[in-house]
Amino acid sequence: MKHVHDSLPPYVKVENGELWLTEDDRENLKISYRIKDIIFSEQSDFQHVMILDSYDFGRMLVLDGVVQTTSIDGHIYNEMISHVPLQFHPSAKKVLIIGGGDCGAAREVAKYKHIEEIHMVEIDEKVVLSCKAHLQEVSGNLSDPRVQFIYDDGVAFVKEHENEYDVIIIDSSDPVGPAEALFSRDFYANVRRALKDDGLMVCQSQSPIFHLDILRQTYTNIRELFPHVQVYTATVPTYPGGLWSFTIGSTKPLSLPETSTIPSDTKYVNEGILKQCFQLPQFLKKALEK
């Protein structure tokens, strides 16, 4: 394995002889992780891509200096963004994932035998290849023939598709750079068109603590386009604030099947989590009612 030691990548610094990654994309908050090793570090056409080995979170995918997923807590996010929507559509056959370059969501979706096609539209091939090679705790070295990797901008891709998908999962990075348009109303309108008549979509809608404005805007956009909208949350330790939100937009009422079809090998999602995750804290309920 090639270790990149000779010149330090951006965002990683030596402090008192130790390597530290500091996320400093926020004005008033910096989060630092002590790093054992730099496994991969390259600039792609879209962003700076790193796989780091950290002390507390194992291997992590870092894009433009921001932690996206880790070996220790990646399953929480990837299971929540996959299994929750799929429980509301137990006969889904065709699923589209937009973003999701770490392959964790595709890996979870592929656990459902009734799903025949999984299209993953990721803008940056380097993210997929580096995660398959160096972050298998998350990617699972996905080689399921039902998964088709399409390297394209998700915004352009959905414009070209109509009435095609049962479920669309928007597994995007933060709304800056190439992911910014993945939070726009126009994009969600095209997502709606790309869904079949009884389809549903889910997106990660950021931190209710630090990005309540983005969550509220996302909720409003989706509510204008879909008759049924629900927000749910999970705690993901490496995301700022811990508490993270997801928003579902559905063309039909959201009801859980009598018996869940959650795969037996999940690490986080179970029937209890499925029911509990829609119970929102009071401040969030009020913010969404406004």
Residue 79 sits at φ, ψ, to 5 deg, of -70, -40
Report in angstroms how near the CB of residue 120 gets to ligand SAM at its nearest: 9
- Which is closer to ligand SAM, CB of 152 or CB of 271? 152
153 binds ligand SAM (CB under 6 A): yes
138 binds ligand SAM (CB under 6 A): no
208 binds ligand SAM (CB under 6 A): no
Binding residue for ligand SAM, selected from 51, 97, 142, 155, defined by CB under 6 A: 155
Q: Where are the alpha helices (DSSP H) in 204-277?
A: 212-225, 271-276
Three-state secondary structure call for residue 23: strand
What is the C-alpha separation between 147 and 110, in angstroms, rounded?
A: 8
In 3D, which of 173, 188, 196, 242 has the Cα closest to residue 219? 188
Binding residue for ligand SAM, selected from 124, 142, 183, 195, defined by CB under 6 A: 124
106 binds ligand SAM (CB under 6 A): no
70 binds ligand SAM (CB under 6 A): no
- Which is closer to ligand SAM, CB of 95 or CB of 155? 155
Measured in residues, the chain has a length of: 290
Contact 98, 171 (CB under 8 A): yes
**CA end-to-end span of the chain, whole Å?**
53
- Which is closer to ligand SAM, CB of 50 or CB of 86? 50
Binding residue for ligand SAM, selected from 23, 73, 79, 102, defined by CB under 6 A: 102
In 3D, which of 156, 170, 159 has the Cα closest to residue 98? 170
DSSP 8-class letter at 238 = T
What is the C-alpha separation between 160 and 79, in angstroms, rounded?
A: 28
Residue 210 sits at φ, ψ, to 5 deg, of -100, -20
Site string for ligand SAM, 4-43 (x = CB under 6 A): ----------------------------------------
In 3D, which of 167, 25, 163 has the Cα closest to residue 83? 167
204 binds ligand SAM (CB under 6 A): yes
- Could you give the residue numbers annotated as active site? 171
Residues contacting ligand SAM: total by CB under 6 A:
24
205 binds ligand SAM (CB under 6 A): no
Neighbouring C-beta atoms of residue 54, cutoff 10 Å:
22
Neighbouring C-beta atoms of residue 220, cutoff 10 Å:
14
82 binds ligand SAM (CB under 6 A): no
Residues between 156 and 195 that touch ligand SAM (CB under 6 A): 171-173, 178-179, 182
Site string for ligand SAM, 234-253 (x = CB under 6 A): --------------------
69 binds ligand SAM (CB under 6 A): yes
100 binds ligand SAM (CB under 6 A): yes
In 3D, which of 243, 257, 206 has the Cα closest to residue 84? 257
Check the annotation: does 174 bind a ligand. Answer: yes
Check the annotation: does 166 bind a ligand. Answer: no
What is the C-alpha separation between 54 and 36, in angstroms, rounded?
A: 5
127 binds ligand SAM (CB under 6 A): yes
Binding site for ligand SAM (CB under 6 A): 61, 68-69, 77, 98-102, 121-124, 127, 153-155, 171-173, 178-179, 182, 204
